[in-house]
Amino acid sequence: MSETEIAAHGHGAVMEESPYAIPSRKLTMWMFLISDAITFGACLFSYGYIRVSTANWVRPFESGSVINVIAMTVILITSSLTMLGAVDAAKASDKAKTMRFMYSTMVLGTLFAALHLREWFLLFERGITLSSGLFGQAFFVITGLHLLHVISGVIALLVVEMWYSSGRLTPGHDESTGLYWHFVDLVWMFVVPLVYLTNIAH
């Protein structure tokens, strides 16, 4: 192995090929997402057990809340589609289209967060808070953790988009951020049925 090769690629790259054939940045993002999935998994498992084993569980969601959660879900799944468009446009080096799709994703993410907060404030008005019992604790911790991820995602998209358009980042960075955004969508697919749909007032 020559000094020039080591200087250009580092030791690992010269000695062996990556077993996954993906950049280390993307692999790191996958590792982060797996650990995050386990965090959400722990929250949802604990919620599930408490929910099933507790009699007289609060069922606060009426038709208005269901319509709100339908809108939130459609918005978040649609934002995954626009994110796919952004990553693909970035790979094709179409900066204008990348920006349009990224901004669309950010707008949808912001709209989702606004609807999420609206739902929270409606529950506050009805006296359901973080300290009002098991339902309040479980609901606000799980949805709060998810909302934190959405807000972080919107900020990350904004930063990546600005740096990508100024040439500081590559399409690979857009792709890693996209993975994170799809993951946020994926977690929501578990939060909605377990936290909202099992608590509809009949």
Partner 1 sequence: MSAASSSGNVIRKYLPVYFVLLAIFFLEVFLSFQHFATGTLVVILLLLAISSASLGLMYFMHLAEERRALFLTLIPVTIFVLLMMNMFWSDSVRLLHMRPGAQ
Cβ(112)–Cβ(75) under 8 Å?
Answer: yes
Nearer to partner 1, 103 or 124 (CB): 103
> Closest distance between partner 1 and the C-beta of residue 1, in Å?
25
What DSSP state is assigned to residue 196?
I
CB of 186 to partner 1, least distance (A): 5
Of the two residues 140 and 183, which places its CB atom closer to partner 1 in the complex? 183
Q: Minimum distance from CB of 124 to partner 1 (Å)? A: 24
Our CB check for partner 1 shows the closer of 124 and 137 to be 137
Say how far apart CA 100 and CA 13 lie, in whole Å: 36
Q: What secondary structure does DSSP assign to 143-164, as a single string?
A: HHHHHHHHHHHHHHHHHHHHHH
List the one residue out of 143, 124, 158 whose CA is nearest residue 72.
143
Q: Cα(first)–Cα(last) distance of the chain, in Å?
A: 71
Residues that bind partner 1 (CB under 8 A): 19-22, 27, 30, 34, 37-38, 41-42, 45-46, 48-54, 57, 66, 70, 73-74, 77-78, 80-81, 84-86, 88-89, 91-94, 97, 101, 179, 182-183, 185-186, 189-190, 192-194, 197-198, 200, 202
As beta bridge partners, residue 200 has 61
- 6 or 38: whose CB is closer to partner 1? 38
